[in-house]
């Protein structure tokens, strides 16, 4: 009987254990293999000193408040982080989780949806180091990370144990069989209780607390005695004007093209265009971007990437607001062929560079136009259009295998072709034009098109035709110099070269690309290499912006850096981007500054002889080439009193014909933004050999220091230099007036009085 009694005791004990174990649920799912947490026996307590008032980061809107706590127990600090959630109406625990994950870019989830128990939370992550890399790796496959959409990654099975964070410095834990997230809730002051239901069934009330506490290794962990508020994010950037853009090809076969923004304080805004435009992107392999006027133009090679399931494709050409990135238009077809580049020609017209020619673009009506005659021909990889520049007079465009096309931007006709295997073209600060020809830089006269070749001592300019990109050849707006990265076949080398435009000399070791060797000087097996155009120069400060990735193919391309060098070749900043296959294509700088007209250009001129005003030095633009500013003329009121013209040499010439007044406007178009100067010319037919003979009114003439004026009435007397500058004025009374003009230098002057114009000579 004793043995039977002992057996029955053991059986009852086992039955109780099994029964107890069978009753435990994990997020509402019955789990027979999971031990009953000892906390079920009594309520668990939280950090008693932490209240809603301590929460710094809130998501949602409404009168009700709840708190979310995630406790990772992964030895990283701070642990047990707290978010706030505001809401109205009926909300569940899963709503709080998902809405916080969607809004907070640092927070991400691994979720299995659609089970009979609702959504199962398999893993929770937080970007603890602030790097921005938010992605998961399954079964160690770092070549193909999985990136969250709206803050979550969805899996279709309880495979939570197979996932790890791409960034090992993140808070990240996940599991189902080797560990799991226990779910604790509290709606009153009696402490936390283990939730018998999952987050999909948990009803939130005003004052709710939810804690997700990870049981690593299936071991219990007490609720933390210290909670830490998640820090609030900096206010979102809504106008992208202070910093620069990085246009990205993106991961072909997986995502359409994108753009990132790097603010002047070092913040990186990833895919702001997609954020602003409801998850839209660009086309496939976005290779070019430029700002002209109020628009940002993004050009992609194809209209979409079929492998992208997260972002809606935008087409080969996407037009957005330059400040807010709000989409204005998108085009799958850009006239024909794949996209290459874009150039603003005037505020009404742009040129689209494609794989088979240049097509007109109507900026005012956002419409693609016809092919420019003479720019087509050749296959996609033998006749493609590359870089295009707009000088103050003409357009210069590089066409593969043909040379540099010179286009009249008023008639849109090719007027000249410079034959040669050119790869890129730029304009320098002094207005000179330079094209890359492998191991030469070629200077092109913007008027006669005469060329001057300057041989590069030992290096080449990087080729850009094979898998076309905008090339590394670039110019400075602060100094009369060009820069490029040494070429290595279709790729790029490790050195930045500086070319002095004035002296025509090269510094082929201006700067070395970082990441070539370790701290001991040993060459690294996977070096940093430039990608895309790789190099551009900030127009406001002359700093060089260099983007690099890591050599080695595969997962190495997830590593990307942005380096900043100053004009003295010093590396002054390095920014590491979040791990992803960005394949950065080209840096673009905002256009914030308008053209500024010099005070030397006056509102009013007195003209008695031919007056010539050189406009080239009368206007400047801090963030664009002043030499490229386009000048145009509008006659407001003339009445045939003068012949007024704007010459090809950018000189304003006024020929007086009659006494009278002419009014004009000179328009200065700098990168699509127009600044207008209104000018008035008071004209006289008098020439340098015509002296007014009415000496009874004004005498003596010539004079020395005093001039006598016989006035018939009270009037204003004005004296001008022959260049139109007013040098003296006086109120004349009726009768004899003596004007003291000893301050005037010897020379010829024009006096206006008695409704007459007099030429005066001071001895």
Q: What is the pLDDT of residues 524-553, one digit of tens each?
A: 999 999 999 999 999 999 999 999 999 988
Provide the sign of the torsion angle of the four alpha carbons 618, 649, 670, 622, taken in this order: negative
- Distance separating alpha carbons of residues 48 and 107, to the nearest angstrom: 25
CATH node for 698-762: 2.60.40.10
pLDDT at 203 over 90: yes
Complete DSSP assignment for 546-612: EEEEESSSGGGGG-EEEEEE-TTS-EEEEEEPPSS---EEEEE----PPPEE-TTS-SEEEESS-EE
DSSP 418-451: EES---EEEE-TTS-EEEEETTEEEEE-TTT--E
In the predicted structure, residue 640 carries a pLDDT above the cut 70? yes
What is the distance between the alpha carbons of residues 615 and 597, in angstroms, rounded to a whole number? Answer: 10
Give whole-number Cα distances, 187 to 5, 76, 96, in Å. 46, 29, 15
Higher-pLDDT residue of 13, 345? 345
Q: How far apart are CA 453 and CA 441, in angstroms?
A: 6
Cα angle 260, 264, 267; round to 5: 50
Q: What span, in angstroms and rounded, lies between the C-alpha atoms of 398 and 464?
A: 11
Burial 539-568 (b: 16+ CB within 10 A, else e): beebbbbbbbbbbeeebebbbbbbbbbebe
pLDDT in tens, 61-114: 999 999 999 999 999 999 999 999 999 999 999 999 999 999 999 999 999 998
409: phi > 0 → left, psi -120 to 50 → alpha, else beta; which?
Answer: alpha
Instruction: Give the model's confidence band at 686: pLDDT under 50 very low, under 70 low, under 90 confident, else very high.
Output: low
pLDDT tens, 738-758?
999 999 998 888 888 766 778
DSSP designation for 463: P
Looking at residues 601-625, what average pLDDT do you find? 92
CB 327 within 8 A of CB 297: no
d(CA 426, CA 408): 17
CA 588 to centroid of chain Cα atoms: 5
pLDDT > 60? residue 510: yes
Task: Write down the pLDDT at residue 189.
Answer: 78
DSSP H/E element including 96: helix 93-103
pLDDT the model gives residue 43:
59
H or E segment and range at residue 59: strand 58-60
Give the pLDDT of residue 42: 54
Beta carbons within 10 angstroms of residue 405's beta carbon: 22
Distant-in-sequence, close-in-space partners of 407: CB < 8 Å, separation ≥ 6: 351, 358, 372, 375, 394, 395, 396, 397, 413, 414, 415
Q: For residue 11, is pLDDT > 90?
A: no
Residue 381 has pLDDT above 50, yes or no: yes
Tokens standing for residue 420: 């040669």
DSSP state of 7: H
pLDDT at 489 over 90: no
Q: What is d(CA 712, CA 129) in angstroms, rounded to the nearest whole number?
A: 86
Rounded distance, CA 334 to CA 355, Å?
Answer: 10
Give the C-alpha separation, 366 to 329, whole Å.
7
Higher pLDDT, 652 or 38: 652
pLDDT over 60 (residue 268): yes
Q: What is the pLDDT of residues 269-283, one digit of tens each?
A: 999 999 999 999 999
Position 7 scores a pLDDT of 32
pLDDT, tens digit (0-9, with 9 covering 90-100), for 709-730: 888 888 888 888 877 778 898 8
Place of tokens 């030095």: 617
Which stretches of 261-381 are DSSP H helices? 272-276
pLDDT at 659: 85
Distance CA 196, CA 117 (A): 11
Q: What CA–CA distance (Å, rounded) separates 184 from 213?
A: 8
Least-confidence region, from 457-466, 515-524, 611-620: 457-466
pLDDT in tens, 579-610: 999 999 999 999 999 899 999 999 999 998 88
Helices (H), 698-762: none
Exposure of 608 by Cβ count < 10 A (0-12 exposed, 13-18 middle, 19+ buried)?
A: buried
Between 18 and 133, the higher pLDDT residue:
133
Cα distance between residue 274 and residue 622, in whole Å: 30
Which residues in the chain are classed under CATH 2.60.40.10?
Answer: 596-683, 698-762
- Kindly state the average pLDDT of the residues 629-641: 94
| Cα 450 versus chain centre, distance | 36
Q: Rounded mean pLDDT of 177-197?
A: 90
Contact predicate 236/247, CB 8 Å:
no
Is residue 484 over pLDDT 50? yes
Is the pLDDT reported for residue 8 higher than 80? Answer: no
pLDDT tens-digit readout, 205-242? 999 999 999 999 999 898 998 999 999 998 989 999 99
Sign of torsion over alpha carbons 475, 481, 482, 485: negative
The pLDDT value recorded for residue 688 is 42
pLDDT of 429 above 60: yes
Per-residue pLDDT band for 200 (boundaries 50, 70, 90) equals very high
- Supply the Cα-derived Rg of the chain in whole angstroms: 36
Cα gap 472→482, rounded to integer Å: 10
Distance, C-alpha 607 to centroid of its chain: 47
**Calpha distance 94→91 (Å, rounded):** 8
Number of H helices, E strands in the chain: 3, 59
Q: Which of 143, 139, 144 is nearest to 159 (CA)?
A: 139
For the domain with range 421-580, which CATH number is right: 2.130.10.10, 1.10.3720.10, 3.20.20.140, 1.10.630.10?
2.130.10.10
Q: Residue 9 above 90 pLDDT?
A: no
Q: What is the pLDDT of residue 2?
A: 36
Topology (CATH level 3) of domain 596-683: Immunoglobulin-like (2.60.40)
Quick one: pLDDT band at residue 327, thresholds 50, 70, 90? very high
Six-digit token string for 525: 């097996």
Under a CB-based contact definition with an 8 Å cutoff, are residues 330 and 339 in contact? Answer: no
Tokens of 547: 């983007």
Q: CB atoms < 10 A from the CB of 63, how many?
A: 8
Please say whether the beta carbons of 585 and 288 come within 8 A. yes
- Report the percentage of the chain scoring pLDDT > 70: 93
pLDDT at position 754: 67
- Judge whether residue 694 has pLDDT over 80: no
Contacts of 89 (CB under 8 A, 6+ apart): 62
Instruction: Give 656-678 as a DSSP string.
Output: E-SSEEEEEEEEEEETTEEEEEE
Tokens of 540: 């406001």
Cα–Cα distance, 370 to 411 (Å, whole number): 13
């Amino acid at each position: 009987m004793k043995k039977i009694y002992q057996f029955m005791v053991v059986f009852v004990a086992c039955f109780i254990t099994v029964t107890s174990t069978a009753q435990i649920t994990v997020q509402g799912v019955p789990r027979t293999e999971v031990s009953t947490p000892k906390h079920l026996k009594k309520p668990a307590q939280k950090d008693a000193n932490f209240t809603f008032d301590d929460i710094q980061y809130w998501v949602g809107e409404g009168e009700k408040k709840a708190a979310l706590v995630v406790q990772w127990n992964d030895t990283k600090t701070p642990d047990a982080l707290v978010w706030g959630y505001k809401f109205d109406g009926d909300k569940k625990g899963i709503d709080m989780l998902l809405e916080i994950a969607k809004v907070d870019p640092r927070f991400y989830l691994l979720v299995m949806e659609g089970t009979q128990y609702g959504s199962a939370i398999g893993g929770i992550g937080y970007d603890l180091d602030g790097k921005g890399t938010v992605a998961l790796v399954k079964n160690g496959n770092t070549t193909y990370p999985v990136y969250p959409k709206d803050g979550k990654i969805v899996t279709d099975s309880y495979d939570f144990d197979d996932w790890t964070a791409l960034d090992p410095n993140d808070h990240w834990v996940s599991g189902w069989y080797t560990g799991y997230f226990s779910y604790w809730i509290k709606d009153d002051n009696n402490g936390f209780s283990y939730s018998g239901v999952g987050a999909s069934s948990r009803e939130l009330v005003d004052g709710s607390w939810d804690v997700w506490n990870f049981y690593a290794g299936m071991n219990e962990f007490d609720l933390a005695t210290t909670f830490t508020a998640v820090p609030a994010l900096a206010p979102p950037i809504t106008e992208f004007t202070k910093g620069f853009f990085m246009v990205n090809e993106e991961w072909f076969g997986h995502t359409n093209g994108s753009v990132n923004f790097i603010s002047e304080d070092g913040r990186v805004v990833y895919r702001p265009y997609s954020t602003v435009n409801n998850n839209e992107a660009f086309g496939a392999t976005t290779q070019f971007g430029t700002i002209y006027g109020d628009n940002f133009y993004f050009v992609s090679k194809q209209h979409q990437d079929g492998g992208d399931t997260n972002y809606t494709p935008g087409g080969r050409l996407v037009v957005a607001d330059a400040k807010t990135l709000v989409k204005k238009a998108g085009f799958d077809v850009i006239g024909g062929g794949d996209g290459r580049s874009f150039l603003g020609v005037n505020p009404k017209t742009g040129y689209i560079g494609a794989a088979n020619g240049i097509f007109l673009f109507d900026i005012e009506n956002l419409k693609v136009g016809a092919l420019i005659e003479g720019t087509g021909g050749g296959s996609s990889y033998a006749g493609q259009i590359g870089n295009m520049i707009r000088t103050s007079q003409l357009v210069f465009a590089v066409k593969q295998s043909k040379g540099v096309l010179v286009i009249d931007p008023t008639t849109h006709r090719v007027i000249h072709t410079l034959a040669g295997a050119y790869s890129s073209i730029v304009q320098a600060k002094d207005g000179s034009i330079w094209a890359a020809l492998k191991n030469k830089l070629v200077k092109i006269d913007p008027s006669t098109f005469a060329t001057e070749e300057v041989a590069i001592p030992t290096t080449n300019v990087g080729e850009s035709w094979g898998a076309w990109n905008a090339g590394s050849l670039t110019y400075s707006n602060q100094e009369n110099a060009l820069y490029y990265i040494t070429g290595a076949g279709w790729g790029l080398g490790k050195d930045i070269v500086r070319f002095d435009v004035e002296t025509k000399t090269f510094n082929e070791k201006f700067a070395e690309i970082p990441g070539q060797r370790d701290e001991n000087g040993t060459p690294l097996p996977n070096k940093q290499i430039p990608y895309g155009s790789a190099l551009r120069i900030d127009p406001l400060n002359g700093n060089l912006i260099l983007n690099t990735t890591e050599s080695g193919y595969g997962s190495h391309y997830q590593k990307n850096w942005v380096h900043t060098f100053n004009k003295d070749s010093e590396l002054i900043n390095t920014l590491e981007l979040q791990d992803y296959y960005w394949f950065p294509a080209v840096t673009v700088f905002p256009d914030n500054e308008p053209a500024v007209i010099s005070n030397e250009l006056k509102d009013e001129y007195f003209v008695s002889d031919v007056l010539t005003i050189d406009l080239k030095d009368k206007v400047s633009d801090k963030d664009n080439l002043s030499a490229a500013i386009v000048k145009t003329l509008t006659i407001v009121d003339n009445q045939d009193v003068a012949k007024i013209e704007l010459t090809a040499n950018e000189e304003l010439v006024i020929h007086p014909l009659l006494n009278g007044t002419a009014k004009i406007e000179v328009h200065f178009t700098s990168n699509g933004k127009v600044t207008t100067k209104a000018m008035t010319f008071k004209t006289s037919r008098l020439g340098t050999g015509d002296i007014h003979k009415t000496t009874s009114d004004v005498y003596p003439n010539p004079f020395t220091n005093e001039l006598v004026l016989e006035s018939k009435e009270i009037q204003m007397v004005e004296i001008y230099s022959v260049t139109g500058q007013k040098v003296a004025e006086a109120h004349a009374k009726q009768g004899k007036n003596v004007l003291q003009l000893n301050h005037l230098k010897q020379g010829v002057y024009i006096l206006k009085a008695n409704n007459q114009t007099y030429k005066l000579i001071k001895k």
